[in-house]
Structure 1
Amino acid sequence: MELRRHPFICELLSLDLPSSDYVVAGSGPLLAHGLRQDVSDLDVVARGDAWKIASSMAEATPPPSGHGLMVVLFDGDIEIFDRWLPGTQDADGLIDSAEFIQGIPFCPLSEVMAWKTRSNRDKDKQDIKLLRKYAGMV
């Protein structure tokens, strides 16, 4: 699949966020690597100018985790956070360690595996299996 044709990626790119100030987190990296064909939304961690742009488009509110702030755009297709989940790297660390796929910054799969394993929510268990298989651990 051409990543840049995915509807959520198109919406994200339409925001024209500076790629040095955000990273796609959540299950988005699995989409980018072709491990999943669809995701329910795109989770984005932003700082600096990217956060300023996002927070100018909608009200920033506390996320379900209660950690930091989030902005919900495109009827929930894009959720932009000023920090990621408790126990993960800060926004700068996540953004600075991004890997670029088709010019879009994504969290490395090792980071995704770490937080999905730590969270171990029902919705993460299938992704953990996919990541282990991809890494040759199964």
Structure 2
Amino acid sequence: MRAIEHPLVRELLSLHLPSDDFVIAGSGPLLANGIRSDIGDLDVVARDKAWSKALKLGTPSPAPFGDDVERILLLDGKIEILNGWFPEIFTIDELISRSDVIDGIQYASLGDVCRWKKRHDRPKDQEDIALIERHIARSSTS
């Protein structure tokens, strides 16, 4: 399944957030690049008009990683819209400027995904890092 056909991505698109002002992070880029076949939730990093629109959809609460980042949970937490993404590593503008556009949707670059997964270094992150590095190696040889 292409990422654009995934129910959570379709639900996100139905919100009509301004496309220049958000990027899909977390595991979404793995789905979009064909590294994973499914995801359980969608992390969306929003700025400016997209964040303003998200504020009309729900009540913000502190994100679990702190640093003054807020989040809005939709669909029982299956879509999480945040106004930052590990700000000690990235600004939203950096994430968006380096994003990969797939089917008209901005996804965090695999390089950025690897950076934050290496920083977290959880068992699932280690597995994802290996999958991403294999994908990048295959892509560079083809």
Within 5 A, what are the aligned runs for 1:1-138? 1-67=1-67, 68-136=69-137
**In structure 2, C-alpha distance between the alignment counterparts of 1:48 and 1:106, rounded to whole Å:** 17
User: Any stretches of 5+ residues in structure 2 without a counterpart?
Assistant: none
| Aligned residues with identical type, % of pairs | 45
Superposed displacement of residue 86, structure 1? 4.0
The RMSD of aligned alpha carbons is 1.3
Q: TM-score, normalised by structure 1?
A: 0.94
Runs of 4+ in 1 over 6 A off after TM superposition: none
Superposed displacement of residue 95, structure 1? 1.6
Q: The residue matched to 2:117 in structure 1 has which SS?
A: helix
Superposed displacement of residue 15, structure 1? 0.7
Superposed displacement of residue 132, structure 1? 1.4
Q: TM-score, normalised by structure 2?
A: 0.91
Letter in 1 for 2:3: L
Q: The residue matched to 1:136 in structure 2 has which SS?
A: helix
* Contact 2:2–2:32, Cα closer than 8 Å, also in 1: no
What whole-Å deviation, never above 9, does each CA across 1:33-81 have from its counterpart, x for those lacking one?
0100111211011001100111111110001111310011111111011
* Contact 2:59–2:72, Cα closer than 8 Å, also in 1: yes
**In structure 1, C-alpha distance between the alignment counterparts of 2:135 and 2:2, rounded to whole Å:** 20
Aligned residues: 137
**In structure 1, C-alpha distance between the alignment counterparts of 2:40 and 2:126, rounded to whole Å:** 15
**In structure 2, C-alpha distance between the alignment counterparts of 1:89 and 1:66, rounded to whole Å:** 14
